[in-house]
Chains A and B, each alone.
Chain A
Amino acid sequence: MTVDTRKGHPEAGRPLTLRGENLRRAWYRFSRHPMSVVGLVMVAAIILLAILAPYVTPYPKHAGAFVDYRNAGKPPSAAHWLGTDVFGRDILTRIIFAFRGALVMGIGVLVLVVPLGVVLGLIAGYAKGTLLETVIMRVTDVFLALPPLILALAVCAVMRPTLFNSMMAVCVSWWPWYTRLVYGMTSSVRNEFYVKAAELTGASRFHILFREILPNCIAPIFTKMTLDMGWVILTGASLSFVGLGEQPPKPALGTMVSDGAKYLPAQWWIAVFPAIAIMVVVLAFNLLGDGVKDMLATEEGS
């Protein structure tokens, strides 16, 4: 057994830039764990399937209002790889269509939440000691007092159940996490010399925040975003499990699981396959996120 003493290791401390050699290097770091590549492939597959859903699924009409009671509740077979549900709809098709809603929720939430959260975090961290910081961080604390799922549930519960509303609900509960993350990093970085240098040369606050501080925080933000795709989708599935998301007949993964739960254990495929689909999506983004973390990690011993 050898003891790991990476400090002083010759490879330590390379800075992050994006140019040809460094891109190859970045790929090397990313692919160090083959599972990350698996994650990348899985995510790509999910996205492709979702975009091309009407063209790649065997029964695209089943994703809408469709009933065929003769075929209802059939176990997995050659015609229906994952079986059919109680309305006779092909489960595989519905799962792939459900990916659409899931991805839309993930991307939608992150697109809204990340800029807002990051900007607030930057401002709060930079304005440390002022009233502005206190206000921002206390409000953030209030939103952080509850785990995202519960807050999203509460918000969602008082609105009409639609995909859009459940997205809004998740947004409300998700933004503070980015603020807190960026706030922490900004406050520790704000006293570094390069920030002081920029201040002394009269750089505008915009420049300091976005050109000096932010680039140093990018890595954890990206990692979190990648991982969050999976978690947001999971939260969305939990919401639709209870009936608070995309409404029928449009397919949603959580709804499919809760509908199918009634028919356990006899017609297990109705609930189990959507559940596995949820797991696969979250797993894919998790693996990808690990790879992103490896790729962006540049400190010694990371």
Chain B
Amino acid sequence: MGRELLRRIGLSIFVLFGLSILIFVIARVVPGDPARLALGPRAPEWAVQNLRLEMHLDKPIYEQYWLWLVGLVHGDLGKSLVTRRPVTADIREFLPATLEIVLLSALVMALGGISLGVLSAKYSNSWFDGVMRIVSYLGIVTPAFVWAIIFMLIFGYVFPLLPTTGRLSPGVSAPPTITGMMVLDSLLSGNLAKAWDAFLHLILPAVALAMGGLAQAARITRASMTDNMGKDYVAAETAYGIPFRRILTKYLLKPSLIPTVSVMALDIAALFGNAFLVELIFNYPGLSRYGIQAMLNKDLNAISAVIMVLGVVFVSVNIIIDIVVAYLDPRIGLAGRRNG
């Protein structure tokens, strides 16, 4: 397992390299002058020229890439054209925020989706199952931003129970920054009230994000369980006298989780993508919102940096999921996840 893991990591590094080249090429293929685009049509020519030199735009493209790579290794990702700060500082501020949401989202997605899926399979073809099928359909086809709007309407205006903007209520000061994640930092610094406040702010965006994946997980779990219910080993286990409830919660569940968990990797990755829409609506200062603004403003350094960071995150998520799948299905080493 150890060797396989190393191989995977090596492969991932290679993939990240490729990604960096891809992103760099895309970012530099901008028709037009990036420096001019960034500063706007009214900026004086000397300012544009300065920026051009600063961004090394005068050098050949492979040299630009090399310089960028060197900077990357040293932790210098250049300056953001929008915030005028080093991009690394921006990322350090915004990444944990998004990570917090994504973590909570992933949890909701996994636990909620799997439980609902199991229940649907247990009561398959009953009214509960029928309702679940419709609801999960709706869940899958509703984009995250629509959920965000719905939640904002319901919890912001109709039943104002939960906060709908920002990370902390106005007047509540931020906890000392350890990880950058509000809930964690508050807990670590012993302030439960702050942690609770931060957590409340997480709920709406996280659940809005999770809905699509939750519905998907429920459907796949249900389908996988009903599929496996037709397998001979379930008939055999029934014939041996194992009670159905036990089969459901253990002997059916484990093999049925395999496709669900495999798909989760994709869904968790998608969370980051959809996070920007949700962050925009809830006015949540996260990485995705930062990334979108960078893209709209053609802030090349920021764009490249955000993509690279996301690339690292996804690759890690994939590896973790692969480890989980390998645990669930002993037939598969780390070498390959069964792609359905």
Contacts and interface: CB of A to CB of B under 8 A. Distances in A.
Given A4-B230, A154-B295, A238-B277, A139 B18 contact: yes
Interface in B92-149: 133, 137-138, 140-143, 145-146, 149
B296 interface: yes
B101 to A, nearest CB: 16
A133 to B, nearest CB: 14
Nearest to B226: A4
B162 interface: no
Contact of A138 (B15, B149, B292): B15
B227 interface: yes
A125 to B, nearest CB: 12
B153 A264 contact: yes
B137 A286 contact: yes
A278 B143 CA distance: 8
Interface string B25-36: 011011100000
On chain B, which size bracket covers the interface? 35 or more
B232 A268 contact: no
Contacts of B26: 154-155, 158
Interface residues of A, number: 52
Interface stretch (B178-186, B191-199, B264-272): B264-272
A141 B143 CA distance: 26
Nearest to B268: A147
A268 B153 contact: yes
A58 interface: no
A138 B18 contact: yes
Chain A CB count within 10 A is highest, among B11, B244, B269, B291, for B269
Contacts of A256: none
Interface of A: 1, 3-7, 35, 138-139, 141-143, 145-150, 153-160, 180-181, 184, 230, 234, 237-238, 241-244, 257, 261, 264-265, 268, 271-272, 275, 278-279, 282-283, 286-287, 301
In the A-B complex, the 9 residue pairs with the closest CB atoms: A157-B295, A142-B18, A149-B273, A282-B141, A4-B230, A283-B141, A147-B269, A5-B235, A275-B146
